[in-house]
Amino acid sequence: MLTFVECERASLPRNMIENSMFEEEPDVVDLTFPPLDPDEVAYEPRSSRLLVRGLGENDMDDEEEDCESSARLLGMSFMNRSSANRSNSSPYTRQSPPRSCSRPSTRNMVVCVLFLVIVASMAMVLYFLPGCTFTKAGCRKTDNNTPLEPVYPLSTNGEMFPWAQYQLPHSIRPLSYDLTLNPDLNSMTFTGRTVINMSVLHNTKRIVLHGTDLNITKATFKDRNVTVLEYKPNEQLAIKFSEELKAGQYCVLTLDYSANLSHTYGGFYNSSYYDKDGNKSVLAATQFEPLSARKAFPCFDEPSFKATFLIKISRKPDYMTLSNMPKAKSTPLTNGLMLDEFEKTSVNMSTYLVAFIVANFIPINRTVSNTLVSVYSVPEKKEHTEYALETASKLLEFYNQFFEIDYPLKKLDLVAIPDFLAGAMENWGLITFRETSLLVGKQSSSLEKQVVAYIIAHELAHQGNLFLTTRFRALDKDALNSSHPLSTEVNTREQVEEMFDVISYQKGASILLMLNASLPGDQQFRKGIIQYLKQFSGLNTDTSDLWNSLTQVSTQHQNVSEMMSSWTSQKGFPLVTVSRKGDQVTLQQEHFLLTSENTTHNSSLWNIPVTYVNDSCSLAPECRQVFTLKTKSATLKLPESVKWLKLNYRNTGFYIVHYEDEGWAALTEALSSNISVLTHEDRASLIHNIFALSRLERVSFRQVLNLLNYMSNETETAPVTEALLQLKNIYRLLDKRQEQELVARMESYILNIFGSLMSKQTWEEEKNVSKQELRSTLLEMACSLNQENCTQKARSLFKHYAEPAGTFRIPGDLQQVVFNVAAQSDEDWMTLLNMYANATYDSEKRKILQGLASSQNAQILKEALKGDIIPTQELPLIISTVSNGFTGYLFAWDFIQQNWFRLIEKFSVGSFAIQTIIKSATSQFSTQTHLDQVQRFFSSLKEHGSQMRSVQEALETIKLNQRWMNRNLPNLQKWL
């Protein structure tokens, strides 16, 4: 699945990013469950492990006076998704965007995306046992003072519930589901019948499955009525029997139930939108990943419980329905409704991939390799679907050839949903998207089109993008003590939600890229993936299955498992330190950890495929040499005539390099003399690495500034965006600390380095995608620093754009720059607000919204953005944008405190949206006062979010900001 995270906008312009980097909700894959012992045998609870793949998806971006009232600025109405309170001009009731880095060709982009096939083969499984050991007698709690006593949870009716683990027992295996759903879009309720065909694996007296907020009205088993027990804390249902079900039996459980359509973004949820004439339409759609299928129907809602599904949905005659499979037939009902029945799924599926939609969407389609490919949208946006159809069709053909496996279904639907929290979701045969992730206007920039292509490619292959800035952002997060291994235990629902983060996606993608780069030959990785897919098609897999497949095709019999286990089983990554003495080069590895509190990772070792080039040959791939570093320290020989050494060629490795002695000085001098001695990827990695080492206090900030001196000659996107991002972070910290003299000096410094390049940027239509990225980054910075030639041009473009004729178009990559400048004028802000209410093109609408949130007028922020026309799904974007400015950053933090419980009602604890909100509001704090405030607030929440990893990350980041500022403020006074 795709979500939007904070990639710090290093590669895509901010207008294309929610947090700044494509961060989608990581795709979840199945992990093999070993068969459990029969229920009677004593066993310890099993914790599942999760290895999620990597994708860079979306990153979200970016007064003290009257904080309490300003907390209402976004307004409580943000929390109210009821469309009944919206005006006719209101937009949709919920929504998000994308991003990227350097510009490869279309084919290279697609091949790059393919690296993440591991995602489609890894596993999500959850649940843990709270403080119990289970025996034949039940769950027993132990302490030092009392003997073992059986402890059973209580059902809602007061009866003992027969199971106390989060993970379901494996005595029963579902074989098939027959689902009938009857949604009522007037009352926003639905009824359903679920018929589950099951096999008994072990003798048992219970059936335990999942169900959340479902009112079970009738249950039958073997044609007899049975009582269903519910244990809400674990979202479980159970049926107890007086006689054992015997292993080998087949049985059928039928459950009738009713429920409300969800008012959040998970489960079977309701939504609405207004067309251009102000007419309201309602719809219902699903989002089941990771734990929400149980909200729509009783089921075994864990990825390893695969089954087939036969789905039937009733609807009004003027509506249509979609599901994973093609429609088999439609039958008129006596109540005037139609019952649509879909074909039975042709393979076993996990519940989180089930999907269905009831709406009045319309499609365009074409047949590709015997598969009907369709793109659905609301009727008035049909003209925006052509690009998605063309892209999906080409990608489907490419994947069929690349994987040597044909797409197995008769149809593939891509659906743009007006109210959708994630970026996209890879439901089998029915992929759902945000409108901004799928719809493209005919006059959209090539940069916008490329972002949509990335998302479609990701969802079709279910893999991810491997671009340069995503790897930098993954390194930044993995350098914190609050990080986690790729393969890690998940013991609660919140921990499952939190696995959808930068580490799971971007780090997962990055180590696959490193693995591919380390394998000999350009086809070995692909061959291993193809073997893996064919061997384990439709099965649950473990991470070792993929590594074994890659090992089997290795021409040099490399042990891939040995290498990869060091990268997946421990958090963090290595710092490789290079020192030279004569012809001896010593490489040393250690854990790169910005904070060392309560850690024992100093002895961590990685199996590192170190690549390097030197001044005699540094650009072409054949210049690259490889040295495997498995131990704490090792040496290699190099001619003494070599002037400098650059490790991690083109940044394909997931590690940071420190050049001791004269190493940094030699590289700095080389770049100052000739910028072309290194690839642009290597130049960008040097910039990222030296800033990271500065935070680690291994280099001085003076060394950082010395390296950046070469930047006045830089023209490539990746180094420029990385340098600007790092400098902007420091600028914002200084701004929030009200160090106005240093802020002014920092502005002068940035303009001194980049001013010439900024002034060379054009404002007309630009076809080259790389140039679009570069100029949008540079001009956004120039205008944010109030450079008159930039702001004047932006205001002029906006004036033409706002003319009644409405024929003037701002180039897509420059719209965010222009809207941000316009929002600083009260008059133009109101014009933007009117434009937002009437805009129909989703990408442009979102840029307008981000511009509105960038205003630095406190009164406007407090009075205008009350949420009456702002989709709830955009709240994380609003908060991150408001937090970037000095006027709004304290307001955003206050708003979160005032509205926390409403926030976690809409965006569940641990979700990507909540992670983004916490990070956005706290990442620019650098004082002890703010540290105490944040710690005090989250500590008070207890089970409502205090234990989230994102909270620990926020506290750690504030401490690091505080440490950096205390150390560098005096030096900045001198150096700048």
Q: Where are the domains of the chain?
A: 155-360, 376-464, 476-569
d(CA 501, CA 26): 7
Q: What angle do CA 473, 474, 477 make, to 5 degrees?
A: 85
DSSP letter, residue 325: S
Query: Residue 518 has what pLDDT?
Result: 87
Cβ proximity of 723 and 729 under 8 Å: no
> Is the Cα torsion angle 477, 480, 481, 486 positive or negative in sign?
positive
pLDDT, tens digit, 9 for 90 and up, residues 684-725: 999 999 999 999 999 999 999 999 999 999 999 999 999 999
**Backbone φ/ψ region at 161: left (φ over 0), alpha (ψ -120 to 50), beta:** beta
Tokens found for residue 763: 């404002």
Query: Residue 322 has what pLDDT?
Result: 97
Tell me if residue 459 is catalytic.
yes
d(CA 284, CA 692): 46
Cβ proximity of 655 and 606 under 8 Å: yes
In 257-404, which ranges are continuous DSSP H helix? 386-403
**Backbone φ/ψ region at 315: left (φ over 0), alpha (ψ -120 to 50), beta:** beta
d(CA 705, CA 574): 24
In 768-841, which ranges are continuous DSSP H helix? 769-784, 788-801, 815-822, 826-838
Class of domain 155-360: mainly beta
Sequence-distant (≥ 6) Cβ neighbours of residue 488 within 8 angstroms: 49, 50, 499, 571
DSSP letter, residue 680: H
**Backbone dihedral angles phi then psi of residue 392, each to the nearest 5 degrees:** -60, -40
Residue 318, amino acid:
D
d(CA 819, CA 832): 8
Does residue 290 have a cis bond before it (omega within 30 degrees)?
A: yes
Tokens found for residue 850: 């981000």
* Helix (H/G/I), strand (E/B), else coil: 661: coil
The string of DSSP codes covering 36-99 is PPPTTS-BPPPPEEEE------EEE----TTHHHHTTSS-GGGG---GGGS-TT---SS-----
Domains 155-360 and 476-569 share a fold: no
Percent helix, strand and coil across the chain, each rounded to 5? 40, 20, 40
Length of the chain: 976
pTM over 0.85: no
Strand ranges of the sheet holding 645-647, from the earlier edge strand across to the other edge: 625-629, 608-614, 645-647
Nearest to 10 by CA among 730, 690, 717: 717
**Backbone dihedral angles phi then psi of residue 214, each to the nearest 5 degrees:** -110, 130
Q: Is 458 assigned to a binding site? A: yes
Matching residue, tokens 């090992």: 551
Query: Residue 866 has what pLDDT?
Result: 65
**Backbone φ/ψ region at 538: left (φ over 0), alpha (ψ -120 to 50), beta:** left
Nearest to 307 by CA among 125, 176, 196, 171: 176
Query: Residue 806 has what pLDDT?
Result: 78
Cβ proximity of 480 and 598 under 8 Å: no
Query: Residue 347 has what pLDDT?
Result: 86
Specify the pairing of strand 19-22 against strand 58-60: antiparallel
Burial of 516 (0-12, 13-18, 19+ CB in 10 A): buried
* Helix (H/G/I), strand (E/B), else coil: 926: coil
CA 412 to chain centroid, in Å, comes to: 23
Tokens found for residue 734: 């200084």
d(CA 428, CA 409): 9
d(CA 542, CA 549): 12
d(CA 416, CA 385): 9
**Backbone dihedral angles phi then psi of residue 718, each to the nearest 5 degrees:** -60, -50
Sequence-distant (≥ 6) Cβ neighbours of residue 859 within 8 angstroms: none
Cβ proximity of 509 and 54 under 8 Å: yes
Matching residue, tokens 């930098």: 472
In angstroms, the Cα distances linking 69 to 63, 729, 850, 894, 924 are 10, 28, 22, 9, 22
Cβ proximity of 191 and 258 under 8 Å: yes
Class of domain 376-464: alpha beta
Q: Which CATH architecture has domain 476-569?
A: Orthogonal Bundle (1.10)
In angstroms, the Cα distances linking 240 to 228, 236, 427 are 8, 13, 33
459, 590, 681, 874: which is the annotated catalytic residue? 459
Q: Is 601 assigned to a binding site? A: no
d(CA 490, CA 47): 7
d(CA 887, CA 825): 15
> Is the Cα torsion angle 889, 895, 900, 905 positive or negative in sign?
negative
Query: Residue 96 has what pLDDT?
Result: 38
Nearest to 74 by CA among 964, 874, 637, 663: 874
Cβ proximity of 95 and 420 under 8 Å: yes
Tokens found for residue 756: 């010439």
Tokens found for residue 527: 């061959």
> Is the Cα torsion angle 654, 660, 662, 665 positive or negative in sign?
positive
Angle between helices 524-535 and 543-552 (to 10 degrees): 130
Nearest to 322 by CA among 333, 313, 310: 313
Tokens found for residue 176: 């098939």
Cβ proximity of 331 and 341 under 8 Å: yes
pLDDT beneath 70, residues of the chain: 1-150, 462-466, 522, 556-557, 597-603, 863-869
Residue 963, amino acid:
R
Specify the pairing of strand 656-659 against strand 574-581: parallel
> Is the Cα torsion angle 273, 279, 280, 284 positive or negative in sign?
negative
Cβ proximity of 141 and 218 under 8 Å: no
Sequence-distant (≥ 6) Cβ neighbours of residue 897 within 8 angstroms: 71, 937
